[in-house]
Structure 1
Amino acid sequence: MKWNLRWVAARRDIWRPTQLLAAFQEVGFNPSLSKVAALWSNKPITVRLDDLDKICTALGCTVADLMEAEPVEVADSERQAEPRAVGGEDTAGAIRPVPKPGSGGRRRSLPPN
């Protein structure tokens, strides 16, 4: 995900975390300045839905304005490691279990009485 908080804030002529905090406080959202600075300078790992709603209200935007999906590159090795059903198609060269030598396929003896 791409975090576009600075871009959305700039559209409202907000250029610093302290100005963003003031905009938040206008709508009754009172995070600490350190939390606002972290949202401002980094892409957050998590954001509470309640907080996201308040951020959107304060900036007059939608969640789609704040967050933008980015395609994820999948490595070729990860594509090839897809799980397959046992006994499904494309089993050429599959390895099957081999009985232990010396067992001769005999049944086990019964335990003593």
Structure 2
Amino acid sequence: MKWNLRLAAAHREIWKASELQRLLAEHGLVISAGKMSGLWSSTPASIKLSDLEVICVTLGCEITEIMTPEPENVTRNTTTETPVGKAAGHSVPSAAVVPRSRGTRSLPPR
């Protein structure tokens, strides 16, 4: 995924990370200066969906404006051993999971 937070902010005349940090705090998302700097200057390794939602609301944008898919960066598994059912687009049936009784504990409802 390509991270475009600075570009999305710039389209809304927000030029500084501290300015966006203040706006996010007004919407209930308090971010430390260090975390804000990381979001502003580089692609985060992970981000909470709730935080992403606040960012989108604050900027008044869609998620696709902040994050852009880059499918060419996805590596494919090159092994040729693929289950027949999955290769044909069908799910492979698995054995049913049946919980066992453990002493006096009851089984979960069905």
TM-score, structure 2 length as denominator? 0.67
Q: CA deviation at 1:47?
A: 0.5
1:51-71 CA distance string (max 9 Å, x none): 011111111111111111012
In 2, Cα distance between equivalents of 1:16 and 1:42: 14
1:43-101 CA distance string (max 9 Å, x none): 0111101101111111111111111101225779x53x231469xxxxxxxxxxxxxxx
For 1:70, the equivalent position in structure 2 comes to 70
In 2, Cα distance between equivalents of 1:85 and 1:29: 45
For 1:16, the equivalent position in structure 2 comes to 16
For 1:56, the equivalent position in structure 2 comes to 56
Which has more radius of gyration?
1
For 1:104, the equivalent position in structure 2 comes to none
Letter in 1 for 2:80: E
For 2:104, the equivalent position in structure 1 comes to none
| Identical counterparts, % of pairs | 39
TM-score, structure 1 length as denominator? 0.65
2:14 is paired with a residue whose SS is coil
What's the C-alpha RMSD, in Å, of the aligned pairs?
2.2
In 2, Cα distance between equivalents of 1:50 and 1:28: 11
In 1, Cα distance between equivalents of 2:59 and 2:66: 10
1:26-105 to 2 correspondence within 5 Å? 26-72=26-72, 78-79=77-78, 81-84=79-82
In 2, Cα distance between equivalents of 1:51 and 1:74: 25
Structure 1 alignment gaps of length 5 or more: 87-113
1:9-58 CA distance string (max 9 Å, x none): 00111111111111112212111111111000110111101101111111
The runs of 4+ residues in structure 1 deviating greater than 2 Å are 72-76
Of stretches 35-44 and 21-30 in structure 1, the one that deviates more from structure 2 is 21-30
